[in-house]
Amino acid sequence: MCQWSPAVVSHWDGLFDDGIRMPTAGDFSLVINPHLTAERRAMVMVNPHGSTRAALSPSIASALGIAPDSLPVSLQGLREALGAAGVAMHAPDVIYYVAAAGASTTQAGTLPEVRVLRPDDAAQFDGFMAQVPADDQDDASVELGHWATFGAFVESELLAVSSLYPWGGVAIADMGVLTMPSARGKGLARSLVRAMIEYASERGHEAQYRCQFDNVASNGLAESLGLTAYGRWEVARSP
């Protein structure tokens, strides 16, 4: 079993283990966590080895009729109760971290120029974003004002961008990557992710890579870099 960093363990255990534990059925645990924010009022984490954890805010648990003296709750029963209460969940994200052996460093082909973007790169960054579909921008959440923003250049043309931002109040930095549609498949995202992992590590943070579970290319990128899947995370949509 993978040995996760203290920051990773602290973050996820604080969400899924802190609180009042409910009676459950099967390889499934559920807590009512009074510290959950409105944005994370209902969450499910399916781990690679098959166990599943869920956490609800007290208000959501009350709306679902879940309490310590309730009958045992199954994962399927929880999903059905959420649906009946009108609580829709986002499609799952797969959460990746650097494995104990570290990220892969091999890469074939010509390497792009990768560097931290500065304020005077704003016009070039905006020009890049104007050429990327809005849905891709929403999924990646890359911003020039984040903790650190990187660009990958080929012959001085900005073809991919990425950024890091602190996550969850612990030493975790979430990564987002965007590549120009015409420049995909050329290793630009790999170079950016490596740069972000190194940047975060040098500052005492664990780099976190997230992508939608059905995004074959993004999951393949994470696995090719030697990142390890922590689990498949679902969170409630905004009301």
Q: Which domain holds residue 174?
A: 96-232
User: Are residues 74 and 152 part of one domain?
Assistant: no
Residue 166 to residues 10, 147, 186, 206, Cα–Cα distance (Å):
15, 7, 28, 10
For the entire predicted model, the pTM comes to: 0.89
At 101 the pLDDT is 52
User: Are residues 68 and 100 part of one domain?
Assistant: no
As a whole number, mean pLDDT of residues 32-43 equals 96
User: Are residues 67 and 50 part of one domain?
Assistant: yes
User: Are residues 125 and 19 part of one domain?
Assistant: no
Last residue of a domain, one of 34, 66, 89: 89
Burial class (CB in 10 A: 0-12, 13-18, 19+), 52: buried
At 106 the pLDDT is 52
Burial class (CB in 10 A: 0-12, 13-18, 19+), 239: exposed
Angle at 210 between CA 90 and CA 176, to 5 degrees: 110
As a whole number, mean pLDDT of residues 92-108 equals 72
User: Are residues 104 and 70 part of one domain?
Assistant: no
User: Are residues 154 and 52 part of one domain?
Assistant: no
Q: How far apart are the first and last CA of the chain?
A: 37
User: Are residues 109 and 13 part of one domain?
Assistant: no
User: Are residues 114 and 209 part of one domain?
Assistant: yes
CATH code, domain with 188: 3.40.630.30
% pLDDT > 90, the chain = 77
Q: Tens of pLDDT along 148-193? A: 999 999 999 999 999 999 987 889 999 999 999 999 988 999 999 9
The answer to the question of residue 239 being in a domain is no
Q: Based on the structure, what is the number of domains in the chain?
A: 2
User: Are residues 84 and 104 part of one domain?
Assistant: no
Alpha helices, DSSP H only, in the chain? 6-16, 58-64, 75-84, 122-129, 134-140, 188-202, 216-224
The answer to the question of residue 17 being in a domain is yes
User: Are residues 72 and 137 part of one domain?
Assistant: no
Last residue of a domain, one of 59, 89, 119: 89
Q: Is the Cα torsion angle 179, 186, 94, 214 positive or negative in sign? A: positive
Q: Tens of pLDDT along 194-212? A: 999 999 999 999 999 999 9
As a whole number, mean pLDDT of residues 126-151 equals 92
pLDDT at 104 over 90: no
At 25 the pLDDT is 84
Question: Do residues 63 and 69 touch, judged by C-beta distance below 8 A?
Answer: no
